[in-house]
Structure 1
Amino acid sequence: MMSSVTPRNRRTERAKGLAMELSSSTLFQQLITQRGWRDPDVFLRRYQEAARELAALEGPQNLATATIERRQFIRWARGEIKGQPRKEARRILAHLFRPVGVERLFVPPPSGGTALSERRHTGDFAHGCSHVAAVVDRDGDESGEDVVMAAANESADFAVRVDGSNVGPATLEQLEADIRRMVLTYPHRPVGPLFTEVRRLRNRAFELIEGRQPPHHTVDLYLAAGILCGVLANASFDLGRYEAADTQARTAFLCGQAAGHNGLRAWVRGLQALIAYWDGRPQDAVRLADAGGHFRPEQGTAAVRLAAIKARAHGQLRQSSEVMTALKEADLLRDRARTGDELPGGMMDFPQEKQLFYRSSAQLWLGGRQQLADAEAAAAEAVRGFESALPEQRRLGEMSLARLDLATARMGRGDLEGAAVQVHDVMVVNSRRGTESVRKRLAQFARRLAGHPGARSPMAVGLQEALAAHQERFVLELPPGDAA
């Protein structure tokens, strides 16, 4: 007797069997349940669509054919994955579930199992923010790392729901003034306390967007929220939390899209490229900088910054001709840049001094006598430019990085004394305002110094000891546990 079970029925039964096995132990499981993607065939179609969209938006083009095996989906759906998926899959999953960060998908969901879409339907985003604050207040010992990721999660939560509260011109003016103050003071303030302020203001912007204000005010609010998420992305990056920085940056870009603001979109793509560069992913940095080039702001320096970041990434790849092309592009864009800025300046501006030390960094990656000389000249000019600002307005982290470029170039030509002067100045500043980028560069300098022919000289030994002691004391400045 012939069986009445068709191949289609078998697939249906298998899908039902998989659904029966699912629990709510990960956010991935909750999201595929809520979106009706439990069937492997349904999910694979969604995954492949996301891969094609991402290839068209950001590249590379061969990403359009990416897929996964059915058994891989079943492992994800059963919560059997350890760690994170491979890099290509992480990018596609981040796009598919945007703005939820991929680092959140395979861990238990937040808020006692309340999934994002459930919270969207209840309209209780403000309660969610209050819940985070209440947990922190109750425990009193939430680690700085958790605070940074909690802030990234709140930005991701917000980006899935948009409704509002009324806004008037005075409210917008105050919000604008607060944002300008924060971006102007960011370069010379400790990152941790400022992170807390920006996070609080970002939550306020989210609440305002949920109003029924006129459309032109909604655009202004999206721009404000995008800038604040961008600042939080930069701060998370400075705190060494690259995944949190990526999550904040994705939400910032989404807000820039909603506002139709090329300046913000280009700046965020630049930040994403910068994160990839410092994370040792120079090819991704080049790709993201190129993607940012599609958004040409009418004013400001965001396009100059993209070209300069691309030059550093090509330097990391040891691609000398591409470095020179990108450096020339940055110079040309600087000459063509119109005065004024679409963004509020401060940390979002890309002054000439910063462009100079990006040039020096790119040349240092290439090595060679002429490149060392060019790098030293550019870094020295950058340091002089940074020093010319009033003490309370100096861009301390950027000046430190320029000093480290200068120190590296001087060490390369045998001037250990000249290098030591710069490094000691950096350690003094970094003790007051520590960032992950400066910490990494100090460690990199220490490794180069250890392999230098003059490493056993008294001056070199003393500098190595000072660097080791500084690195041992170095603790990233983290936001206080009661951040709301």
Structure 2
Amino acid sequence: MTLDQIDDDVRALAVAYDTTDPNKAFQDCNTLLLDIQDKLERTQRPRQKERLYLSAGMVTSLLSVASFDLAALGPAVQFARTSAMYGETIESGPMQAYANGILAYLSYWGGRPAAALRYVQTARTFAGVGDTGRVRLRAIEARAHAHLGRGQDAERAIQAALEPGNGERDELHDVGGEFGFGPSRAAMSHATTYLVLGDSERAERSALHALSLLGEEPSPDRPVQMQVTVDLARARLLRGELDGVDEALAPVLETAAEWRTIGLVERVSQLRAQLARSEAAQAHLGQELGEQIEEFVALAAARPLTGSRLAIEA
């Protein structure tokens, strides 16, 4: 019964992650991890240990995501490596694939897209990964290719992500929540990839598609949708459509400070830099947007990653 409760707690944290304050999510996950580690020390039964290691791997993955959201890149990497270690201990292919996927996107956020590709290649060697996990890895691969300037490779990875699966599921990705990677999240990722490639038309189409899909989900007003909304604004700015930028950015600028995670702050900061380089910077609306963005970043819970090459850099 204790193990069943731990399983339920892990799944509840994963499902609630994108509607939970990242600070609270981190604290809740850390508390649960300490409990799991305590129980690992108190049992010698192989089956119990296997279940606990799986739960520990899932929780450390969530801790990695929360650390990244809070702009703590070093701890995010450490937690992802720990998750991979737990997966190796119990020979869980999905766990190792998921953790290596995290390490991949942490790499391109840190300005190392070639390393990101290596992590993706490693992740794709693990057995037992279902359709959801494969789509996620293809989306991460596409972004890494985009950072390396490999537009055709990025497009091939996106098209592979869009291909229908075989209905295969696994013990991790199909828990859902933060472990899931449904059509809306895939569309969000593809929008950012197209921005990196400088393709404003396809970036806007993917962003609008993602927002449409998110609007159909049970919790349509989740803070995560603000990231793709910024991508929509950036796509419009690439075409000089300042009024469209203002329209898209309005709800983003109202995001509560605790929800201004690094993924959102970096996107908004990059939009500010993009705006400053454009002719629109001299327009009255452009100046107003610049000031509003500066205030938004100044009050954010997460701070821009010092010295990083932005993962959304065009």
For residues 69-468 of structure 1, the aligned pairs below 5 Å read: 170-332=1-163, 335-338=164-167, 340-343=169-172, 344-367=175-198, 371-391=199-219, 394-397=221-224, 399-468=225-294
1:476 maps to which residue? 302
Q: Residue 408 of structure 1: SS of its match in structure 2?
A: helix
Which residue identity lines up with residue 476 of structure 1 in the other structure?
A
The answer (yes or no) to whether the contact 1:353–1:381 under 8 Å persists in 2 is yes
Distance 2:227 2:297 in 1: 16
Residue 341 of structure 1: CA displacement?
4.2
TM-score after normalising by structure 2 = 0.91
Distance 2:166 2:23 in 1: 33
Residue 298 of structure 1: CA displacement?
4.3
Pick closer, same or farther for the CA change 1:396–1:329 going to 2, 3 Å: same
1:361-413 deviation digits (Å, cap 9, x = unpaired):
1111122xxx321111011110111122234x65422x122111111111112
Residue 281 of structure 1: CA displacement?
1.3
1:143 maps to which residue? none
Identity over the aligned pairs, expressed in percent?
28
Matched length: 301
Q: Residue 474 of structure 1: SS of its match in structure 2?
A: coil
Residue 213 of structure 1: CA displacement?
4.2
Distance 1:395 1:302 in 2: 22
Q: Residue 454 of structure 1: SS of its match in structure 2?
A: helix
The answer (yes or no) to whether the contact 1:190–1:433 under 8 Å persists in 2 is yes
The answer (yes or no) to whether the contact 2:22–2:258 under 8 Å persists in 1 is no
Larger radius of gyration: 1
Distance 2:43 2:258 in 1: 44
Moved more, 380-389 or 241-250: 380-389
Q: Could you list the runs of 4 or more consecutive aligned residues of structure 1 that deviate by over 6 angstroms after TM superposition?
A: none
Distance 2:126 2:269 in 1: 35
1:243-272 deviation digits (Å, cap 9, x = unpaired):
111111111111011121111111111111
2:308 maps to which residue? none
Higher relative contact order, structure no. (Cα contacts within 8 Å, ≥ 6 residues apart): 2
Residue 283 of structure 1: CA displacement?
1.0
Aligned Cα root-mean-square deviation (Å) = 1.7
Residue 448 of structure 1: CA displacement?
0.2
Distance 1:337 1:261 in 2: 20
TM-score after normalising by structure 1 = 0.60
1:214-273 deviation digits (Å, cap 9, x = unpaired):
212211111000001111111111111111111111111110111211111111111111
Structure 2 gaps of 5+ residues are 304-314
Q: Residue 429 of structure 1: SS of its match in structure 2?
A: coil
Which residue identity lines up with residue 126 of structure 2 in the other structure?
F
1:192-215 deviation digits (Å, cap 9, x = unpaired):
012111101001111111133421
